[in-house]
Amino acid sequence: MDRTIKPSEIKAVVETAYNKYKDFKVAGAAPDPRVSAMNPGKMSVSVCLTDGTRFGYGDTEAAFAIGSMMRIPMYIQLYSQMSPHDLVHKMGKCGISCHSSNVEKPTGLHAKSLRLASLIEPTGDSDGKMAILSDLMISLMGSSPVLDDAMYKANVKANIDNRIENRLAEAGYELYDNATVAIDIVNKLNSMLVTTAQLAEMGATIASDGMNPASQEHVFDSKISESIVAMIAAKGPKSIRRPWLMITGVPAISSFGGGLLAVIPGFGAIATFSPELVNGTIPYKAAFAMKEIVTSLDLNVFASSRVRVAE
């Protein structure tokens, strides 16, 4: 049997979770070194529902690195170019070659992200690829993410220092475009800053089958949404993917910048943010708050009942 939740109930749960965890501290937690000077101690929660209702608590306009969530616009673009079956085939087993460990960790570049970037058309055109992805992100989020120039330059320098292109060649890692182009795209996306308000709108667009509920723009084919949600569930928040999905039943993805995005088809999206990480991967305040919100509202996407929002 379907359930109905009032907007006021959602707001009450979100506000309670935010207030409960905004000052919560875990010994030893610290921001990723790449963003150590950004937003210390801040926290935010933003919600965007499929009917366009939006609200947030805390520092909802604080910008942080998008990190692994950059895969969302990349996958949306690639699913518009090819079928999920073809993309899985081109990515290979797990999307990672047996040599990927030789090219991934020393540079901060994820091997799978490089292969995704290499598949995006047009081939051989970094500016062309980036223009397409930038336009897509604006449509998904309602506004443009911001390129952190200092972070981008630091990423480029790290790649040069670590001989990333040479190591890719030495490892025989398969890309579908020039390595220079793929590396540049991933560096730029990794250096993009977003807010929880932007992430919530992007997630709600996915939850609305490609229709941005705020702008009413049809951003992508509705058939793509289910594959994007599946990708988010498979990727999961870093280091806690399996326990997260088992406990919450809600597809979510995190970033090294401290962001966490949950997407609930037909309902909307919730984005939380806190820069301090546990074990260098988990934005613990954001994760605790998100867990409380989705479990209190029982938003498990694997439940037989569906949730709708109405007065």
122 & 51 share domain: no
187 & 201 share domain: no
Q: Give all strands (DSSP E) within the chain, no chain letters.
A: 3-5, 44-49, 54-58, 64-65, 146-147, 192-194, 252-254, 259-264, 268-273, 277-278, 282-283, 307-309
Q: pLDDT value at position 174?
A: 87
- List pLDDT tens digits, range 109-125: 788 899 999 999 999 99
Q: pLDDT value at position 104?
A: 44
47 & 115 share domain: no
Residue 80 pLDDT class (50, 70, 90 cuts): very high
Q: pLDDT value at position 169?
A: 84
- Nearest-angstrom CA–CA distance, 193 and 269: 19
- List pLDDT tens digits, range 254-290: 999 999 999 999 999 999 999 999 999 999 999 999 9
Mean pLDDT of the region 179-199:
96
Please tell me which residue, 3 or 188, carries the higher pLDDT value.
188
Domain ranges, residue 136: 68-192
Contact 164, 220 (CB under 8 A): no
107 & 170 share domain: yes
**Where is the domain boundary, 173, 192, 211?**
192
254 & 161 share domain: no
**Where is the domain boundary, 159, 192, 225?**
192
CA-CA-CA-CA torsion for 218, 260, 85, 127, nearest 10 degrees?
A: 70
pTM to 2 decimal places = 0.93
- Nearest-angstrom CA–CA distance, 171 and 158: 18
208 & 294 share domain: yes
CA-angle at 271, arms to 265 and 274, nearest 5°: 155
225 & 280 share domain: yes
| Lookup result for tokens 């993009």 | 192
What CATH number is attached to the domain comprising 98? Answer: 3.40.710.10
74 & 180 share domain: yes
Is the pLDDT at 94 greater than 90, yes or no?
no
Candidates 221, 64, 38, 66; CA nearest to 134 is 66
Q: pLDDT value at position 99?
A: 40
What is the residue-wise DSSP string for 71-82?
HHHHHHHHHHHS
Q: What percent of the chain has pLDDT over 90?
A: 83
Average pLDDT, the chain: 92
- Nearest-angstrom CA–CA distance, 263 and 250: 7
Residue 1 pLDDT class (50, 70, 90 cuts): low
- Give the 3-state secondary structure of residue 254: strand
